[in-house]
Structure 1
Amino acid sequence: MGNGMLSQEEIDALLRGTVAPETPAEEPVVEFSDMEKDAIGEIANISMGTAATTLSQLLGKKVDITTPKVDVTNAEQIRKDYPIPSVIVDVKYKAGIEGSNFLILSQRDGAVIVDLMMGGDGKNVSLELTDLQISGIGEAMNQMMGSAATSMSTMFNSLVDITPPKLVLNDMAGGNQEFVQPDEALIRISFRMVVEDVIDSILIQVIPVSVAKGMVSKLMGTMDSPAPQKPVPAKAQPSPQPQPVQQQVQAQPRPQPAQPRAQGSMPVQPAQFTPLKPTNLTVSQDNLGLILDVPLQVSVELGKAKKTIKEILELGPGSVIELDRLAGEPVDMIVNGKLVAKCEVVVINETFGIRVTDIIQPNERIASIQ
């Protein structure tokens, strides 16, 4: 029955009732219902939607991750369907869920993501990823899956946490035995990921069936749990028969204007304070002696410059950084982070020093604070 059709011998055996049809060994039956597929798809859709928002903030570009497609497969089939050089991101759960799952994205997508994180435009990237780029992809995936775990915590009404993702560069066509067994049943969740005009490809999330069933069970348990009931007030006792109006007026004293007091609570009264009286305080100069030996951090600032991560990483011996100050301008003397004076740089016995040329007035410092 290798071609999907019964042989004549098998037909004859069935007619005789001696052989029952068997499921082919290479295609084991996996019990994962359509309802479970819909549930795991909903979990993935919500969690990846949150992850897309996180990735968008990291890249500074709009990220769209479409509604997922869910199917049951195995590692061998994934290798056949996704043979390009890939970045495999292994994400293990350490709280809330037992097991792990992994993401598959192309090495080109990984290179584009890390290039955008470093201030590039994401175009004309190289597939030869350096250790620094791999670390950058790992940080992006860590933040994405961390936000996805937070989203699942809300769905499951219990804490879900992950360990830092582990990245492996892999040619899927060559096999990958590190994360899953070849014959292990897997849930494949396929997303279309679009990052403006630089990425339009498929992002794959792979979850072992046992882990996926645990997720579905948690979701169903949350949905089936009864909503918290509001306390039902005690049934009111029947009121006594009304008496004549004249008797009621005589029996009921006139209510005093006071706040209602809850049964069993302590009486509460407004706090009373002694009025403050203005006094003339004089500050003795001798009190300064108490803090004269307190050390202060004094530094000199030549100037400032703003650089992107990409520009910083390109620095090397001999690189020149242009500051926002002209040559010959006074430098700033900073005391504990506050500008105190303007100075000029001098040389004293072959070491640098500064000569104070102008003291910043107190009113100028107050104006800068305001």
Structure 2
Amino acid sequence: MDKDILSQEEIDLLLKGDSNLEGNLDENFEDDGVITDIERDAIGEIGNISMGTAATTLSTLLNRKVTITTPKVEVTTAGELSNEYPIPFVAVDVKYKEGFEGSNILIIHVDDVKIITDIMMGKEEIDTSRELTEMDLSAISEVMNQMMGSSATSLSEIFSKKIDIEPPKSYEITFSEGRKKLDVLKTSDPIIKVSFRMVVKDLIDSEIMQLIPLEFGQGMVENLMGTPQREVIDSIDRREETKLVEEISSKKMDMATSNGIKQKTARIDKMSENKDEEHVIIKKPEFETFDGSDDVSYNESIDLIGDIPVELTVELGKAIKKISEILEYGPGTVIELDKLVGEPLEIYANGKFIAKGEVVVIDDNFGVRITDIQNRYGH
């Protein structure tokens, strides 16, 4: 009997062995020297610009102030992530279909996804104790589609080429499960982790992560700089490295202000030309004089514009509903309008209110009898 019972030491060894098997050879990974300081700073700046634009989009969707802090760039592995984050999270897989080849993953807390979904559904009370549903995953996929779409637009300006993404896919998953399902996590190669702190006023204050394959991240930097980084490091000193980092940081500002700089330069050149002139002649402007004339009116026929079509619209009534209410509609649903029975309907010509009327039936067709014309004085 005793031989069939495992000791605590044997159990610990089995658990340890399973962990090592899952982490493979990458769980004790050291990131020193995997990427250069230039690559680290460049990736951080790219992430800062793209996520800044994404934060603006999220703020518009939620109608709340959203702040995303300056990113922190690290190099890790799927094995280390499995050990560091054992609990489930929501992974949003974003694949590029134009401009770049590859994909990256955004990691979001499950409760944050529930909060974002409840806000978009117009719920007055946020419930994070409920189970995560397909509705939550669908909502966060659409949110990320909007956010990363605007981010791709910003990257298009930085890299001077069109960049576009496929519709993102969301999963509730752990890192251990993700190593079998998500391309970015299937490898034991190093992964670039870009961490941001996301704050949504009074609701969310947590960390989101962007996981980028090492080759993909280095490729972006080389694309931006125009020269493979390993060759640059061999031929420049530290001062030149710092200069390149400053050029990357100022690239966004240069694009936004290039027109203003050109205008200022033109004005400076103009001032320099004027400075060389010895004499400047100043005189009052001369204007042509017109004799007074009687007002002339033309009573031409309106036939010239008589054939121009005008769209007449009759408004039966209005109703304002929340998205959550509209989603519950189906065949047979009755929508209550703001008009009372027998109350005059409003008639518009090309969107301008011109008259009031009442509904009539003419040979089985609806019609409107005009009861009151709105004149130009509003009576």
- Structure 1 length as normaliser, TM-score? 0.67
Change (3 A) 1:45 1:293: closer
Matched residue, 1:330: 344
Task: Pick one of 85, 88, 92 that aligns with 1:84.
Answer: 88
Matches within 5 A, 1:341-352: 341-352=355-366
Which whole-Å CA distance do the structure 1 matches of 2:289 and 2:145 have between them?
A: 55
Counterpart among 52, 55, 58 of residue 49 in structure 1: 52
| Whole-angstrom CA distance in 1 between matches of 2:346 and 2:279 | 73
CA contact (8 A) 1:102 1:206 kept: yes
Note closer, same or farther for the CA distance 1:166–1:280 as it changes in structure 2 (3 Å cut). same
Distance 2:196 2:171 in 1: 20
State the 1:301 CA deviation: 0.8
Considering fraction of residues, name the structure with more helix: 2
Contact 2:141 2:170 in 1 (8 A): no
How far apart, CA to CA, are the structure 2 residues paired with 1:255 and 1:346?
82
Could you tell me how far apart the structure 2 residues matched to 1:341 and 1:140 are?
Answer: 43
Match runs of 1:96-115 below 5 Å: 99-115=102-118
Deviation at 1:206, TM superposition (A): 0.5
Matched, 1:205 2:188: no
Q: Distance in 2 between the 1:273 and 1:136 partners?
A: 69
| Percent identical | 41
Paired residue type of 1:347: V
- Which among 309, 312, 324 is matched to residue 310 of structure 1? 324
Which of 161, 168, 171 is the equivalent residue of 2:170? 168
- CA deviations over 1:55-98 (Å, ceiling 9, x no partner): 12210223233443332122343344344042323142633x55
Going from structure 1 to structure 2, the CA distance change for 1:50 and 1:121 (only over 3 Å counts) comes to farther
Q: How does 1:235-314 map to 2 (within 5 A)?
A: 257=281, 280-284=296-300, 287-314=301-328
Q: Which has the larger radius of gyration?
A: 1
Unaligned 5+ runs, structure 1 = 1-23, 234-253, 260-268, 366-370
Q: 1:87-139 deviations in whole A, cap 9, x for unaligned?
A: 323142633x5543221224443332233123224612541123xx5454233
**Residue 298 of structure 1: CA displacement?**
2.2
Q: How many angstroms apart in 2 are the aligned matches of 1:197 and 1:309?
A: 23
Q: Which amino acid aligns with 2:342?
A: G
Q: Hey, what's the Cα distance between the residues in 1 that align with 2:309 and 2:59?
A: 45
Code of the residue aligned with 1:162 in structure 2: it is: D
Kindly tell me the number of residue pairs found equivalent between the two proteins.
308
Map 1:119-130; keep pairs closer than 5 Å: 119-121=122-124, 123-124=126-127, 126-130=131-135
Is the 1:87–1:169 contact (alpha carbons within 8 Å) kept by the matching residues of 2?
A: yes
Give yes or no for the alignment of 1:158 onto 2:160. Answer: yes
Cα-to-partner distance string for 1:161-215 (whole Å, 9 max, x where unaligned): 3324421324233234342232232101222333234334331100111222234
For residue 75 of structure 1, the aligned residue among 65, 75, 78 is 78
TM-score (norm 2): 0.66
Equivalent-residue separation in structure 1 for 2:221 and 2:289 (angstroms):
60
Question: Offset at 1:354?
Answer: 1.8
Judging changes above 3 Å, is the alpha-carbon distance between structure 1 residues 45 and 291 closer, same or farther for their aligned structure 2 residues? closer
Contact 1:344 1:356 in 2 (8 A): yes
